Each structure stands twice: as C-alpha cells, then as structure tokens.
C-alpha cells in the first residue's frame, strides 16, 4: 500500500473543528511537507513572561491583590484637590515601591526559568539533513527529522526508533525522568527499518507515519508506518520518549514524531500556576472588610459633617466660609466623606505589603543559609526558589511523595539469606555472637576471588565458610542465583566483568553469587557459562520461563555437563511456597520464620527452589511448549498453563533478602512528620510490591496496623466494591470498639473529615494505577477520598505523572488543606506544580523537578527541618506581624475618627502631616520587621523535639478572622484611651506658669508621643525572642521619633522652611510639662495593663503547648539531654510478601531469540550496606498519647509529648 504524495481533502483535516489534532501525519526527510501541518517546534518554554508581556502581565497579576487596587483608588482620590487633605506622595511613593519590588522579584524568578529553558533548548543533537549529519540545537529539531543519538545522551524528542548499533534494531533506555524507574527497558525498531544503519540509506528513507495525536499516556502509542507499498503497525515498544536516556547502546537513529510541548514528557508537566498562600487570600478578604468598615466610618462622619454644617456651621459663614463650589451642607458632607476616606486609609497602609515582602525575603535567606540543610557530599544547599510561600510551610497537612530517588537511593544490597534452614547475614563479633549496629566488624574478605566485585560487602563470614567447606545446599543456592536471571555481562578487560541488569534487584543477586565464587561469565541464546569456584562450567539453556506481574516468579531450565536437567525458580513467597513438594514442610516452616524476620526489617525477599526433570518428561513438555508458542490465539494462556504445570512439586533451597536502601533519615522523618499530624501519601510509578516494601522499610506501613487494604480492580464496579468493603470493615471495627455511631450517620455529616477521623484503628490503603483511574472519576472521587483519608498511610502504585497531579488536586478540592508535593524526577513535575508547595530533590533523575519547584534540597530528611523549623517559624512570625500591624494602625487611625466629633467633622487630622507620613515608614516599621524576621517561640531543637507544636498552623489558629477582630478591637480600645485621656486631662490642665495647657499642637504632640510609646511597649510584650537587633530597632525607633519631633519644632528648620514648620518650640514646651508626662504614663499603663493581666492569667490557667515547652526548657536549662538507644524489635509474623523483583517484564524471550547477544555496557551502581532503623516504631506508638494532650497542654504535656 502506498500513501499518495498529494493529500486528499479528507486527509487535510488532521485538526478537529476546535483546533484539536485528530491524527498526526509525519513524513521522513520532508520538512516542507510536515510544515504544512504547523506542528510545534522542539523549543520548550516554562517561563511566564517575555520582554513585551512582562509589564502588562505582571501588573495584571499584582493588581489581582485587592490591596494594590485599593491603593490605586486612593491615589486617584488624593489627586483631587477639593477632597485631599494629605499630599499625593504619601501614597504613590510606597505603591510604586511595592510594585517595583514585587516586579523585580518576579522578573528574577522568570529569568532563571528562561535560563533553564535556554540550557535545554541549546543542547546539541545530530540531525540528518540532505544526507549529512549536522549538529543542531534541540530547539531547531523539527517533526519529521531523523536524528542520531549516542550512548548516555538524553532523547531530544519523541522518536520512532529506526535502527541501532545493536542486533535486530534493539536499544536500551532508562526512563527515570518519565516514570521514576531506573531499571533499563528495551526498545526495538521494526524489522523493515532496523537495517537502515548508515546515513545514505536513511537519507533515502521516505516512509510516512500516521499515528495518534499528542497525549500524556506514557505507556501507549498507536500508529502505522507506510513505506514501499506496505504498512507496518507501530507500538510503544518502537518509541523513544523525550526525557529517556540511551544506555548500553553505541548509537541509534530515530524519526521525530512529537516535538517540544507535544512530547509526552511536556504533556505530563502541567502548567505553571500562580500560587498564593492562605494568608494572602485571607488578607484579600480582610482588606475588603476593612474597606467596608472605612466606608461606614466615612458615611458616619459625612452625615455628622452635613448635620453640623446645617445646624452650626451656617451660623459662622463669616468666619468659616464654605469652600468655593460648596453651596449646601449636603454637598459639604459628600466632600467630607471622601476626605475622611483618604485620612482613615491608614487602617491598611501600603507599608504592610512592603513589610510582608521583606519578611518573606528574610525567611527565604534563612532557608538558603541553613547549614543543617546543606549536603556536603553533593555540595548542594537548600534553596528557596520562591519567596511567597514561606508561611504556608507551617500549615502543611498532606505530603505527596515520590518513591524512587526521593525516599530511596535506588541502590539494592544483598543483605541476608536463608539456606536450608540456616539464616546468614547478621553481623557477628569475634566470638560469633550477634553484633550491635554500633559494633560493626570488618566485612567479609573476598580477596581470594579475582573476579569478585570490590564494591560488594557482606558482614557474616559463616556463609563464606559454608561455601569453602563445600556445603551442597549453599553451592546449589548460589548456582541458582548465577543461572536464574536475565542479566547480560560484558568483560571490558580481563577479569573485569560488568553486569547489565533489567532491575537493580537482579543485579544485586547475581553480584552476590559472583563474590561467593559462582561467577556468571557469559551467555549465548542456548548456553550460560559460570565460573564455579574457579572452574568454568557451561550449562545448556533449554528454556526461560519469564517473569511477569501475574506469575511473580521466573524459572530457567538448564542441562548440566553431566546431562542432568534441572529447573531453577525464584519468586515471591506467597507464590512459591504453595508450589513446593510436601516433603519440604519442616524446612518451609523454618524458612517462613526467616522470611517474616527479613520482611519485618523492610527487606525485599525472594524464595528459591529447584526441581529435577526426567528427560522423557522434558521432551514431551518442550514439544507442547513449542506448539503453544506458535499458537495463533490465546498464546499467553497456553504458555501460562505449561509454566504452571512444570513449576510444581519443587524442592526448597532457601530465600534471599535485599535491602532497597532508603535515604538517610527517611523513617525518622516520616515518623516525626506523622506525629505533627501530617498525612503522607506515596505516589509512585513503580510496581506494587516494590512500593509496599518501601512502605514497610520507612515505617509508613507496620504490622501493628489493623488492616492494609489493596485495591486492584480493573473495572469501575470492582473498584467501587473494593472501596465500599474497605469502608465497611473500618466502620465494623470501629463499632466493635464501642464508638456507638452508624455508618449512615457518618455519611450524612456535612463535613466528612470529622467522621473519618473518628474511626478507630490504623489502616493503610494501597491502590494501583488502573484502579486509581476509575477512582478519580467524578462519581467515585469522593468515595475514594473518604476511604483514603480514613487511612493512616496511602500508597498509589503504577501511577502516571498526570494521575499524581489529579490526586493532589482532589485533596485540594475537598479537604481545603495545604498540600506539599516532593519528588526528584520529571515525572513529578506535574504533581509539584499542582500542590500548594512544590519541593524538588536534586538527586539522580535530572533537575526537571528542581526547576519546577518552590523549594529544593538534596535529601528527603531535610523536609522535617523545612516544615517544623523554618515553616513553623515563618507562620508564627507572619501571624504575629499581621496581628501587631493591624493593631498599631487601628490604634493610630481611629484617633482621627474620635477627633472628628470634636472638630465639626471637618476632616482635620489630629497629628501633623509629617507624623502621619513617618509613622509607618520610620517610627514603627523596623521593630515589627525585626519581630517578623527573627522571632521564635521555642528554639529549633524544641521545634523538632515536639512535633505537636506544628498543629496550630494546620488549624490556622494564630491568624484568622477571630484573631483579626481581637486585634482591631484592641486597636480601637487603645485609640479610645489615646484620645479621651489626654482630652479629658487637657480640658482643665494648666502649665507651670498657670497658663492654659490645652492647644491643638500640644494635644497633637501628647497623643503622638503616647501612641509611639504604647505601640513600642506592646511590641516588646509581643517579642518572644530578643536579639540585639530587636533592642536596637525598638529603642532606636523611640529615639528617632524624639529626634525628629524636636527637629521639626526647631528654630533652624523654621528659618529654612518658614511655611512648613511654623510651630517653633512647641514640642520642647509641651514635653517640659510634668502634666504631659503624667498623661503619657497614665495612657500607657491603662492601655497596656489589661493586655499584661490577660496574658498572665492565660499563661497560668490555660497555657499553650509552646508555653509549656518554654517552661520545661527553663527548668532543664542546666541538664544535658539524655539520648536513649532503642533496639529494634523484629516481627513475629507477616501477612505480606516482601517480593524483590522491581521490573515488570523479563528479557527471557529476547535472550532465547538471540537478538541481544552483542551489547556494550556500563558498570552498575555501587552497592553499600546500611543498617535499618527501628526506634521509630516506638516513636509512632506515642502518637496516641500525644493526641490526648494536645487539647490541654499543661505540665503533663512535657511528659507525653517529649520525643
């Protein structure tokens, strides 16, 4: 079949009515043809602005802040001379300052995004143009181009693999950037193009591909290649996706199908979202309320002005004439309304937003400078990549974490094994007793073996002794490990073997056999050569019974040099133990105990078995296998039945235990965060068994849990039924424990969160990707969320990047909780962008996650410090700052309101214009900044030690609508006393010389001085952590106030600016009067004493947890902290399989076909051992007692919450 060179009309419609692409047509080596379809270029863009759009887009975003729009409106009012009682510069200068600071910050952030984009877009790639390979930048690659990739290069776009250096068009890729899996995967060109190995043939290649439009499905691709009168089906096995890395393949050629934003990697990335904190959103609401309050005050004063002018002012027209254009009392009141709106606008000064940005910037620098979050090994500091989300770090309720590279190092280590009922692998001292972790002896010496891998370490010498003594069971154990696998080997130089394994676990097992003297040397399609204790033996490979997720095991059938046929099998204990011969019962019981012990330590386990086959039986079975393999229909079913037949009545050899090394401190971090009432969900692209094993290793899952629910349904009905059964079991267990409510009652609750939290017991939920796809549908998402939120731990396996984002979005939508997503690969980018806070791990899988994140560091354990120290402090500081700021500004502004009733509602200000301008910029700005940047309630050690201190942020207790009203009530109370005490005293007071004390300027100076002193004393009370900077700013601000006050009333300024500073000597004369100082003292005491009394009673009668912690800190100040070593307690039994196969499909069929017998390879990752941590189990059990004390954190809280 030939595709016509001119497109028929029906083929021109590759785009739907809405502009969406319906199918893609790509012709090789034909740029002009492909350009007709206007496909996207390979240039990517993650930035938000360019030079042209920056100013309008950024201003649009900034004026989404209600306050900025509010201040712009005030500025316009101040430009109208009839109503302006203050100069316009008092608003425009701070407004421009705020907009400029924010714009510079946003421009800086976007500059780094542009820099990152340019770095990727300018990578070099070899493109075949006019028969010649030319170096081109990635952004210049076009759909339809043929490009050449070399070993270890990133794939530039989504390619159709045409040919490679390996036999039969094979190539190997690593997909960590896409799905988080670091095990190699195989891709193969279709046979008709696999022979196009040189550029001259490829230059003449003019095939055309018709395929699906761009989409985000990583594991599916459908299309057809039309070439030379034929058509060839294409699948995902023929595709190399952008973000993959070419491994162990010298070169390959590919045809670009999708480029740039159309690639599956970018389709899964999600859009850059504008993130705001909950405090920002609350402040927008409060500003609207304050504006409403401001309008109400303006209306009251305007009505007062109209009445006063109508009743009183009209009688004084000779002395107080109305302004030009004012002809009635009503119009005078109307103008007075706008004048008071301007005067009273300081209830929300623009300096608030400048201060907020400065405080956030300071918090960001503290994160960047934190040496305890610096990784010396990688020379990577923590980095706050945004400055707008710091306080939200103190309010996180849900953490969504990737697994591979985030929780784990993705390094597999052969840790322990059980052979013929004997367990090996425990560290022993010189006397042969089990050694403690801190007494680690020297590792086993493998120097006798010239082919040993020097990176492999094992700590139990008795296993090597058994090998040397010729124990037949141990020999057979390692013989199985050296034969039953799909590993490829390469000998770079004599004695230097390199293994290429499809999964790290398989590599670890073959390496273990290698070091103990059973060295897998090489293989052909029909043979395997092993060096057994220095002697080369070649086994005939008769069959490979490959691994898949249903079988959960793999087997090989080999013929020894003596002619004996034997089947070797390894697989999950739940599968293999039921396939053993009954004669193995006693050995099975002992091995099961060992498996439970290993699984209890979080190790990944496999069971090993063998079976001898009669020649006649094998011949018959082999013929049936050949017929099944060539069956036109149900081939897989026929093969599965034959595999199942031969893998019965096997003899048990033993079991292996592999440690998937967690990152340092992961179990402790998860336990501490759990005690802080943070829920952790693991979203991984890895298989279920692997994810569950890691769940046990990091103590998310424990055997103390009531039940672990596994949802694996393939249909909507199956998933719904499994979720329903899970909820019913939880409710039944809860009723049996005497909670006394029904499930129907719970579901009828308007807020299902409280219902679910009332369920007794600890549960976990494990759900697969195909089941999650149904669970996330609109009619089932609430059921899924209810079930998941009732569980202590949730693990989602085999999920796509888009599903990760959908899970995060689901929790954001219904729970109204702050979410944090953490990951290290490109497959985590969408999740990171969707969550309120995105954290990138700068690890093994590139920097895509870091570039998309809000915060980044190198190890998961730093998350604990980021949240419990920096996050909690940032939230605490911001809340205290806001409470104080609203208080001081209401106290300042409301004096004008009270004064209005005594000045004929004339919009006369109490203070002079310079005091109004300088109050928020100079007199009170630095002390509150110092508190907002440096304040602490408890030291950082106590923040980590008492995770319950984190809960006020989650419950939003420190700044909410209630706290806001308390602050403004205190501010109004202060303003009343601030005005009426001096007013009442001045009514009858006299000077020392007997003259009347009361005059406008003296009153203004007294009120202003009282105000500055009262708010300075108040911030002293609010400051919980005093530094030299706090002292300097508070006392310095007071000194500055008096210096400026005396300067403005000095003779020198009057002589220079006689029209501006007319009241010479007023401050000196006023403050020289004892009556004035007594008035100031009385005002200060009356304003402050109720606050002091309330706080004293609250501290004594109902202390918060932070108060209790501070008290215990004072009591224990001279005591040294006692560190206790908790010993790990092993499990008695386990109901799970610790299965240690992380790859999905084996290479068995490929090996037997002989297609991959010439390979180049690189060394596997180094292996190192690490002792598991067990003390966290005890820590987690304390959570119940922690919760019981959170409601009344009295003196006993220290006993129950001390971790």
Q: What is the pLDDT of residue 632?
A: 63
Q: What is the pLDDT of residue 1152?
A: 64
Residue 715 CB neighbours (<10 A):
11
CA distances from 177 to 660, 826, 828, 994 (A): 20, 5, 9, 86
- Reported as a single tens digit per residue, the pLDDT across 1037-1093 is 999 999 999 998 888 777 787 777 777 878 888 899 999 999 999 999 999 999 999
DSSP type of residue 378? T
Q: What is the pLDDT of residue 1173?
A: 35
Is the pLDDT reported for residue 220 higher than 50? yes
CA distance 28 to 204: 9
Share of the chain above pLDDT 70, in %: 84
Is the pLDDT reported for residue 202 higher than 70? yes
CA distance 785 to 64: 32
CA proximity to 979, closest of 923, 1069, 911: 911
Q: Specify which residues 544 forms β-bridges with.
A: 556
Q: Are 817 and 751 in contact (CB under 8 A)?
A: no
CA distance 382 to 367: 6
CA distance 175 to 154: 10
Contacts of 984 (CB under 8 A, 6+ apart): none
> Which has the minimum average pLDDT: 36-50, 251-265, 884-898?
36-50
**Local confidence band at 701 (pLDDT 50, 70, 90 cut-offs):** confident
> Dihedral sign, CA of 729, 731, 732, 738?
positive
CA distance 1194 to 1109: 10
Residue listed under structure tokens 């109490």: 910
Q: What is the pLDDT of residue 754?
A: 41
Q: What is the pLDDT of residue 1163?
A: 30
- Reported as a single tens digit per residue, the pLDDT across 49-80 is 888 899 999 898 888 777 788 778 888 887 87
Is the pLDDT reported for residue 431 higher than 70? no
Token reading at 818: 């702050």
CA proximity to 479, closest of 527, 529, 445, 524: 529
Q: Are 1108 and 1195 in contact (CB under 8 A)?
A: yes
| Residues comprising the chain, all counted | 1203
Catalytic annotation on 117?
no
pLDDT: is 746 or 235 the higher one? 235
* Highest mean pLDDT of the ranges 559-573, 728-742, 989-1003, 1138-1152: 559-573
Report, as an integer, the average pLDDT of 568-588: 91
**Local confidence band at 547 (pLDDT 50, 70, 90 cut-offs):** confident
CA distance 535 to 556: 21
3-state secondary structure (DSSP) of residue 1033: helix
Q: What is the pLDDT of residue 1178?
A: 39
* Residue of 402, 505, 546, 1022 marked active site: 402
Q: Where are the alpha helices (DSSP H) in 635-715?
A: 635-646, 666-675, 688-697
Contacts of 983 (CB under 8 A, 6+ apart): 902, 1003
* DSSP string computed for 581-636: -GGGHHHHHHHHHHHHHHHHTT-EEEEEEEEEE-HHHHHHHHHHHHHHHT-SSSHH
Contacts of 83 (CB under 8 A, 6+ apart): 77, 335, 338, 339, 342
Is the pLDDT reported for residue 573 higher than 60? yes
Farthest CA pair distance, the chain: 130
E strand or H helix that includes residue 137? strand 132-137
CA distance 312 to 76: 32
CA proximity to 1139, closest of 411, 486, 576: 576
Q: Are 351 and 920 in contact (CB under 8 A)?
A: yes
**Local confidence band at 740 (pLDDT 50, 70, 90 cut-offs):** very low
Q: Give the strand pairing for 679-683 and 793-797.
A: parallel
Is the pLDDT reported for residue 1185 higher than 60? no
- Reported as a single tens digit per residue, the pLDDT across 959-1011 is 999 999 999 999 999 999 999 999 999 888 888 777 777 788 899 999 999 99
CA distance 556 to 528: 11
Is the pLDDT reported for residue 1187 higher than 70? no
CA distance 209 to 160: 9
Q: Are 712 and 768 in contact (CB under 8 A)?
A: yes
Is the pLDDT reported for residue 18 higher than 90? no
Residue by residue, what is the 3-state secondary structure of 700-766?
A: CCCCCCCEEEEECCCCHHHHHHHHHHHHHHHHHHHHHCCCCCCHHHHHCCCCHHHHHHCCCCCEEEE
- Reported as a single tens digit per residue, the pLDDT across 937-957 is 999 999 999 999 999 999 999
> Dihedral sign, CA of 932, 934, 935, 936?
positive
Is the pLDDT reported for residue 1197 higher than 70? no
Q: What is the pLDDT of residue 934?
A: 95
Q: What is the pLDDT of residue 1124?
A: 43
- Reported as a single tens digit per residue, the pLDDT across 823-839 is 887 778 889 989 999 99
**Local confidence band at 1165 (pLDDT 50, 70, 90 cut-offs):** very low
Cβ-in-10-Å burial (0-12, 13-18, 19+) of 1009 comes to buried
DSSP type of residue 871? I
CA distance 915 to 343: 13
Token reading at 826: 């490109």
CA distances from 300 to 310, 333, 900 (A): 15, 10, 10
**Local confidence band at 97 (pLDDT 50, 70, 90 cut-offs):** confident
Q: Where are the alpha helices (DSSP H) in 140-217?
A: 176-179, 191-194, 199-204
Residue by residue, what is the 3-state secondary structure of 3-26?
A: CCCCCCHHHHCCECCCCCECCEEE
Token reading at 285: 């609401």
Residue listed under structure tokens 């009309």: 9
> Which has the minimum average pLDDT: 257-271, 674-688, 736-750?
736-750
Write phi, then psi, for 609 (nearest 5 degrees). -150, 165
DSSP type of residue 434? B
E strand or H helix that includes residue 557? strand 553-559
Q: Are 561 and 1088 in contact (CB under 8 A)?
A: no
pLDDT: is 1195 or 824 the higher one? 824
Q: Specify which residues 565 forms β-bridges with.
A: 559, 613
CA proximity to 599, closest of 1137, 1143, 1175, 1126: 1137
Query: Residue 686 CA to chain centroid, in angstroms?
Result: 18
Q: Are 209 and 203 in contact (CB under 8 A)?
A: no
Residue listed under structure tokens 């790290």: 504
**Local confidence band at 376 (pLDDT 50, 70, 90 cut-offs):** confident
- Reported as a single tens digit per residue, the pLDDT across 127-185 is 999 889 999 999 999 999 999 999 989 999 999 999 998 877 888 888 877 765 566 77
Is the pLDDT reported for residue 17 higher than 50? no
Q: Are 640 and 359 in contact (CB under 8 A)?
A: no
Q: Specify which residues 708 forms β-bridges with.
A: 764
CA distance 1190 to 1203: 14
CA distance 1176 to 671: 6
Q: What is the pLDDT of residue 299?
A: 95
Q: What is the pLDDT of residue 180?
A: 58
Q: Give the strand pairing for 527-532 and 518-523.
A: antiparallel
Average pLDDT of the chain, as a whole number: 82
CA distance 264 to 258: 8
Q: Are 998 and 989 in contact (CB under 8 A)?
A: yes
- Reported as a single tens digit per residue, the pLDDT across 262-288 is 998 888 775 556 677 888 888 888 888
> Which has the minimum average pLDDT: 34-43, 305-314, 429-438, 675-684?
429-438
**Local confidence band at 440 (pLDDT 50, 70, 90 cut-offs):** low
Is the pLDDT reported for residue 253 higher than 90? yes
**Local confidence band at 748 (pLDDT 50, 70, 90 cut-offs):** very low
Q: What is the pLDDT of residue 273?
A: 62
CA proximity to 572, closest of 592, 586, 600, 597: 592
Residue listed under structure tokens 């079949």: 1
CA distance 396 to 837: 9
CA proximity to 712, closest of 605, 777, 798, 780: 798
Q: What is the pLDDT of residue 917?
A: 80
Report, as an integer, the average pLDDT of 449-476: 91
pLDDT: is 988 or 796 the higher one? 796
pLDDT: is 451 or 1179 the higher one? 451
CA distance 285 to 323: 37
Q: What share of the chain is helix, strand, coil (3-state, %, to 5)?
A: 50, 15, 35
Contacts of 850 (CB under 8 A, 6+ apart): 385, 840, 841, 842, 856
- Reported as a single tens digit per residue, the pLDDT across 584-610 is 999 999 999 999 888 777 688 899 999
Q: What is the pLDDT of residue 237?
A: 86
Q: What is the pLDDT of residue 843?
A: 61
Write phi, then psi, for 257 (nearest 5 degrees). -100, -50
> Which has the minimum average pLDDT: 390-394, 455-459, 1183-1187?
1183-1187
């Amino acid at each position: 079949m030939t595709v016509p060179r001119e497109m028929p009309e029906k083929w021109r419609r590759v785009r739907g009515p809405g502009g969406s692409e319906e199918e893609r047509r790509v012709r090789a080596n034909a740029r002009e043809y492909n350009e007709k379809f206007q496909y996207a270029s390979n240039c990517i863009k993650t930035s938000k602005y360019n030079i042209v759009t920056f100013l309008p887009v950024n201003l649009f975003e900034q004026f989404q802040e209600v306050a900025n729009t509010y201040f712009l409106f005030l500025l316009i009012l101040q430009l109208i001379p009839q109503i302006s009682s203050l100069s316009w510069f008092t608003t425009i200068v701070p407004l421009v300052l705020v907009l400029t600071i924010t714009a510079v910050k946003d421009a800086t952030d976007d500059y780094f995004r542009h820099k990152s984009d340019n770095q990727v877009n300018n990578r070099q790639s070899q493109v075949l143009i006019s028969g010649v390979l030319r170096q081109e930048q990635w952004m210049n690659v076009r759909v339809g181009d043929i490009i050449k990739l070399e070993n270890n290069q990133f794939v530039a776009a989504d390619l159709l693999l045409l040919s490679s250096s390996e036999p039969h068009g094979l190539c190997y890729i690593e997909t960590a950037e896409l799905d988080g899996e670091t095990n190699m995967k195989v891709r193969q060109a279709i046979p008709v193009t696999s022979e196009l190995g040189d550029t001259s043939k490829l230059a003449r290649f003019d095939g055309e591909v018709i395929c699906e439009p761009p989409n985000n499905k990583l594991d599916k691709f459908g299309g057809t290649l039309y070439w030379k009168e034929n058509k060839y089906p294409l699948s995902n096995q023929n595709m190399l996706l952008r973000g993959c890395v070419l491994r162990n393949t010298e070169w390959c050629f590919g045809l670009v199908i999708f480029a740039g934003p159309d690639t599956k990697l970018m389709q899964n990335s999600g859009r850059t979202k504008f993130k705001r904190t909950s405090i920002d959103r609350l402040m927008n609401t409060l500003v609207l309320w304050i504006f409403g309050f401001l309008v109400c005050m303006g209306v009251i004063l305007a009505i007062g002005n109209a009445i006063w002018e109508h009743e009183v002012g009209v009688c004084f027209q000779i002395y107080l004439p109305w302004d030009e254009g004012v002809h009635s009392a009503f119009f005078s009141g109307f103008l007075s309304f706008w004048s008071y709106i301007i005067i009273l606008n300081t209830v929300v000064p623009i300096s608030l937003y400048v201060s907020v940005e400065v405080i956030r910037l300071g918090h960001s620098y503290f994160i960047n400078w934190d040496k305890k979050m610096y990784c010396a090994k990688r020379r990577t500091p923590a980095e706050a990549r945004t400055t707008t989300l710091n306080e939200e770090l103190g309010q996180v309720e849900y953490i969504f974490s990737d697994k591979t590279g985030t929780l784990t190092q993705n390094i597999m280590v052969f840790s322990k094994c059980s052979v013929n009922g004997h367990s090996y692998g425990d560290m022993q001292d010189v006397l042969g007793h089990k050694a403690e972790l801190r007494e680690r002896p020297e590792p086993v010496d493998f120097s006798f073996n010239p082919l040993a891998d020097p990176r492999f370490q094992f700590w139990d010498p008795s296993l090597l002794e058994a090998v040397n003594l010729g124990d037949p069971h141990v020999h057979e154990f390692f013989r199985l490990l050296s034969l039953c696998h799909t590993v490829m080997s390469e000998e770079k130089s004599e004695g230097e073997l390199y293994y290429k394994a499809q999964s790290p676990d398989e590599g670890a097992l073959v390496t273990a056999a290698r070091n103990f003297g059973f060295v897998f040397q090489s293989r052909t399609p029909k043979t395997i050569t092993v060096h057994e204790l220095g002697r080369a033996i070649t086994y005939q490979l008769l069959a490979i019974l490959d691994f898949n997720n249903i079988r959960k095991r793999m087997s090989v059938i080999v013929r020894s040099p003596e002619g004996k046929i034997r089947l070797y099998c390894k697989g999950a204990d739940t599968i293999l133990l039921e396939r053993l011969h009954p004669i193995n019962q006693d050995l099975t019981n002992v091995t099961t105990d060992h498996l439970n012990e290993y699984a209890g330590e979080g190790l990944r386990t496999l069971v090993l078995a063998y079976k001898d086959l009669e020649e006649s039986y094998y011949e018959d079975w082999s013929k049936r296998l050949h017929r099944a393999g060539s069956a036109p229909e149900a081939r897989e079913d026929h093969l599965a039945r034959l595999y199942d037949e031969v893998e019965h009545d096997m003899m048990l050899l033993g079991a292996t235990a592999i440690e998937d090394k967690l990152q340092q401190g992961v179990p402790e971090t998860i336990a501490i965060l759990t005690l802080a009432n943070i829920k952790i969900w693991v979203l991984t692209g890895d298989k279920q068994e692997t994810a569950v094993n890691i769940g046990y290793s990091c103590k998310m899952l424990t055997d103390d849990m009531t039940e672990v629910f596994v949802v694996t349904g393939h249909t909507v009905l199956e998933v719904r039924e499994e979720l329903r059964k899970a909820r019913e079991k939880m409710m039944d267990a809860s009723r049996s424990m005497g909670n006394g409510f029904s499930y129907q009652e719970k579901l009828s609750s308007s807020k299902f969160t409280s219902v679910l939290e009332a369920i007794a017991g600890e549960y976990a939920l494990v759900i697969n990707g195909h089941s999650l796809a149904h669970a996330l549908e609109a009619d089932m998402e609430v059921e899924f969320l209810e079930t998941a939120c009732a569980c202590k731990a949730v693990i989602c396996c085999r999920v796509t990047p888009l599903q990760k984002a959908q899970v995060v979005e689901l929790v954001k939508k219904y729970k109204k909780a702050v979410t944090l997503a953490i990951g290290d690969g490109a497959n985590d980018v969408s999740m990171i962008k969707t969550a309120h806070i995105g954290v990138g791990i700068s690890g093994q899988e590139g920097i895509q996650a870091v570039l998309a994140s809000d915060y980044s560091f190198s190890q998961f354990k730093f998350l604990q410090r980021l949240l419990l120290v920096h996050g909690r402090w940032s939230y605490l500081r911001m809340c205290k700052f806001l409470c104080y700021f609203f208080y001081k500004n209401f106290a300042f502004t409301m004096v004008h309101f009270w004064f209005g009733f005594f000045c004929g509602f004339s919009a006369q200000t109490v203070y002079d214009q310079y005091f109004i301008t300088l109050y928020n910029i100079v007199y009170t700005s630095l002390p509150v900044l110092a508190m907002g940047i440096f304040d602490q309630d408890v030291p950082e050690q106590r923040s980590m030690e008492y995770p319950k201190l984190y809960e006020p942020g989650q419950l939003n207790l420190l700044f909410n609508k209630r706290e806001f009203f308390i602050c403004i009530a205190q501010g109004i109370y202060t303003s009343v006393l601030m005005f009426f005490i001096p007013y009442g005293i001045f009514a009858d007071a006299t000077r020392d010389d007997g003259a009347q004390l009361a005059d406008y300027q003296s009153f203004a100076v007294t009120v202003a001085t009282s105000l500055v002193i009262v708010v300075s004393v108040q911030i002293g009370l609010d400051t919980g952590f005093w530094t030299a900077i706090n002292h300097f700013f508070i006392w310095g601000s007071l000194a500055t106030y008096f210096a400026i006050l005396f300067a403005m009333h000095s003779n020198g300024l009057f002589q220079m600016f006689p029209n501006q500073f007319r009241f010479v000597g007023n401050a000196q004369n006023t403050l020289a009067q004892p009556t004035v100082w007594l008035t100031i003292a009385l005002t200060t005491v009356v304003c402050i004493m109720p606050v002091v009394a309330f706080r004293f009673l609250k501290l004594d009668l109902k202390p918060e947890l932070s108060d209790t912690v501070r008290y215990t800190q004072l009591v224990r100040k001279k005591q040294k902290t006692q560190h206790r070593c908790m010993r790990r307690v092993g499990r008695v039994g386990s109901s799970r399989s610790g299965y240690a196969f992380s790859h999905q499909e084996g290479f068995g069929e490929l090996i037997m076909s002989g297609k991959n017998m010439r390979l180049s390879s690189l060394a596997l990752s180094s292996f190192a051992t690490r002792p598991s941590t067990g003390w966290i189990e005890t820590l987690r059990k304390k959570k119940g007692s922690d919760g019981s004390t959170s409601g009344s954190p009295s003196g006993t809280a220290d006993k129950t919450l001390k971790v």
